[in-house]
Amino acid sequence: VTEFDQFSIDFMYYVGYEDRAKVSPPEMVVAGADKWENQVGTGPWLFKEYVVGSHMTYERNPNYWKTTTIDGVEYQLPFLDEIICPIIPDVSTQMAALRTGELDFHDLVPVTQWETLHQIPNLLSASYSDAGYQCLFNNSKPPYDNIELRRALMIGTDLKSFADLLDVGPLNKHWYPVYTGNPDIYIPLEELPPDVRILYDYNPDLAKELIADIYPDGLETTYTFVGAWHGAQDRAALIKDQWTKIGVEVELVSVDSVSYDAMFRGQTYDGALDEGEGFQVANPTATFNKCGMIGTPNNYCLYENERVDELSYAMAAELDIAKRNEM
């Protein structure tokens, strides 16, 4: 029996669906849970083969618990008998495999490849906006514990220029913290209060004035990113260029992904941090409860606001979907 001191809207998701859900039999512990080949769970696939540098193969779990109903007929999942996941580090080689049909499916295709792939007959595609990149500030330490500085930096950052890096046309600047495609919860930018709309209106002169009022002798900061991540160096260069124009000297710090993850997950970083993995917004309740509340593991900015916590608790405890959306 699991008891909680409050309602958890996504408990069952983490137990049964989330890719890091750890529901395993005691036999796994006896066999040696520290060896990944011994790890088993309740998912739809069983590990079959791993060839170093080549591929991993999974076969259908005949005892998988979940079914789906189509046209009134119930079917056992999964439908596929086997999945082969090739190991292809190079993006160009990945795209070539997709174009030639060597790959049947590719998730999260870089936007720089979209135009070319759209020209291939019979290649189906789907795009959606449920995540995006962010610049993170550690709100628990100077200088980013100052909300006026954070506002000034956003006003002095040209969000459109970051969208232009992707070369896919105009993108919605106001995409966080809720999904833009959900009219039940999303409030368009033009309907937000003036003190919020001004944050999205690029105005380097105003930003420079605001920062000079806070730091008359100027401000120095670091911007840390993973150099190997797609687009990270370009984003960092844009930040440095734009912030220099508003009176902020930026030192760019390129690190490996392991070092970055220690700072990111451990919430120990100083300065600003490039969030290159992409924040998801499909589940608004989870967004607020995981990312915006004091002490939550995904509150990477260490943001603290007791009123936000109070509202987030109330939203999570509300079982009526319409009322929760209104909140």
pLDDT digit string (tens) for 1-17?
Answer: 778 776 676 777 777 66
Q: Which pLDDT score, from 0 to 100, does residue 20 have?
A: 66
Per cent of the chain over pLDDT 70 is: 92
Q: Please give the Cα distance from 262 to 257 (Å, whole number).
A: 9
Burial label for 207, CB within 10 Å (0-12, 13-18, 19+), is buried
For the chain, what is the total number of helices (H) and then of strands (E)? 13, 9
pLDDT at 279: 66
Q: d(Cα 84, Cα 46) in Å, to the nearest integer?
A: 12
Which pLDDT score, from 0 to 100, does residue 318 have?
A: 84
- Ranges of residues in the chain with a pLDDT under 50 are none
CA 176 to chain centre: 11
Portions of the chain given CATH number 3.40.190.10? 25-117
CA angle 157, 161, 165 (to 5 degrees): 135
Task: Give backbone dihedrals phi and psi of 146, rounded to 5 degrees, phi first.
Answer: -95, 110
Please report, as a single letter, which amino acid is at residue 164. D
DSSP per-residue letters across 253-316? EEE-HHHHHHHHHHT---SEEEEEEEEE-S-HHHHHHHHSSTT-TT-TT----HHHHHHHHHHH
Tokens of residue 8, six digits:
């958890």
pLDDT score, position 69 = 97
The CATH number fitting domain 131-282, selected from 3.40.640.10, 3.10.105.10, 3.30.230.10, 1.10.3720.10: 3.10.105.10
User: Are β-strands 219-226 and 82-86 bridged in parallel, bridged antiparallel, or unpaired?
Assistant: unpaired
Q: What is the structure's pLDDT at 134?
A: 86
**Where are the domain boundaries for CATH 3.10.105.10 in the chain?**
131-282
Does domain 25-117 bear CATH number 3.40.190.10? yes
